[in-house]
Amino acid sequence: MPLAALAVGAAAGTVALAGTAGAETTDIVRTGAGEDGYSSSSRPTYNFGASDTLVAGRAGGDTMVTYLKFTVASPGAGVTVKNARVTLTRESRTLPSALTLSKVASTTWTEKTLSAKNDPALGAAVSTVKPKSDAATVTFDVSAVVKSAGTYTFAVTSKVANTPARFRSSEAAAGRPSLNLTVVRPAATPPATKPPATTPSKPPATTPPTTPPTKPVEATPTTPANCVVDAKLVPSCGVLWGAAAGGFSDVPRDEALKTFEQKTGRTSTVYHTYHKGDELFPTKDEIAMTSDPANPRTLMLNWKVGYGTKWANVAKGDQDARIDRLSTFIKTNYGTRKFFMVLHHEPENDVVATAGSGMTAKDYAAMFRHTVLRMKANGVTNAVFVVAYMNYEKWNNSPWWGDLYPGDDVVDWVGVDTYNNAQPGGFHTGDFNYMMNRTTDKAKFPGWYTWATTNHPAKPIMVAEWGVYDSSPTVVGKNKADVYATVLPQLAKMPQIKGLVYFETAKDQNGHDIRMDDTPEALAGFRKIAADPRFNVKL
């Protein structure tokens, strides 16, 4: 994900019910709570912002109020909001016979400081529901309030005595609060037979100097025949196509991926998912997605084995029980089917360069090596290991960056997560070549693709995450479409790239909308990429 590791807190994602070509499309745009918490009248100075539970109702003399804050990104040009609903997932215990959601005028409160001593005042009631006592979820209709992009704050209360409701918060592992907008998008414009060759603008002088975008060149049309993968999942010709869909959302990843495939018109051969710590995977849903004969897929499983500890501790063997448990699970549940495994993607963001911190670049390399060798010793023979960098100039120029590489003997693919801004003149604006090879100083760092092909010429390159966002004050469909138009011709000039995996989210941790369909023009441009025959690789 762009510029940071996978966030546990909620953000936004998209799941859609796509219409037919040339017709309007109805989507469900889901936004997670950016802030949530609850206050307790009997504990007026207590803060519950870090809790994975939200409580609303009365118990004895205590009145508890749940607060929710959602920041809704623009659903795109020409899009209308049909309705809006807030959904909460019951965490435990029975629900009261009535719950009320009220509007809150203040949007400045934060979950870290919220308490009964300073909680914001409640406004008018928006929706009252009477759920079944054992209902899995509770949904409030907020269509009268939420009609467009903006920040919305609500409170949930109950007057029922001694039956407080308990819901999962944004800190929970699943079932986090969501604001779901049903939106209607205009008909997509059919893709042009030949996209315009454009050169995105150079970033202004106030941003770090960057490599000027390369002018698109026409790719030589080719139709790969009988492209297959070898034991390391390297295609004999062509490029593997994949996606991590529904990022930063509560939408199930398999559901989000199927929607992504429906919109883009191609099965994502690489299905990218994320796990951490003691989680066991592949999950049943992941296994089902890679057991579909009509839509052949392989997994790219991202694992933070060091979650809750330090890289140095993993390297010393402190988490061997965790590694062994997962190894046994994989052998038992996934057999010998090949899959990609990324170990702690984007490590740069978590490096603490101080010697002895346990989180230095060398500690990362040691953690990676130990995990790979341990899994192989445990008999896991079907994992293809990927190291995935961030491609952010600040880190690439750091003196410790080169120490991250774990070694050719434990790395099968060299990967990168990289993103571009489609805003003309904006920071990190550029074409696909710029996305893969940008630099602020070639003497310090020659550009990521140049570095990879020079230092590791025998390793295939996996673009493990890529995406395009538009930071323009008003999103312009042509902007993303122009960047997408550079992908195919410039990809043809980078033969070491053997995998291309899009990261799709309506709102990442920096507020970027990386959906490929936020405008009809963007979707048309992206569908042109997806339709290219170079991605016809058989597993």
Q: What residues act catalytically?
A: 346, 465
How do strand 12-17 and strand 25-32 relate by DSSP bridges?
antiparallel
The answer to whether 64 and 118 have CB atoms below 8 angstroms apart is no
C-alpha 406/C-alpha 410 separation (Å) is 7
DSSP secondary structure string, 489-512?
HHHTT-TTEEEEEEE--SB-TT--
Sign of the alpha-carbon torsion through 310, 312, 314, 319 = negative
- What are the distances in angstroms from CA 365 to CA 95, 316, 369, 412? 49, 12, 6, 14
C-alpha 359/C-alpha 78 separation (Å) is 47
> Which helix (H) or strand (E) segment is 431 a member of?
none
C-alpha 326/C-alpha 388 separation (Å) is 21
C-alpha 68/C-alpha 336 separation (Å) is 45
The answer to whether 325 and 294 have CB atoms below 8 angstroms apart is no
* Short-list 475, 473, 525, 422, CA closest to 76: 475
Burial class (CB in 10 A: 0-12, 13-18, 19+), 210: middle
318: region left, alpha or beta (phi > 0 left; psi from -120 to 50 alpha):
alpha
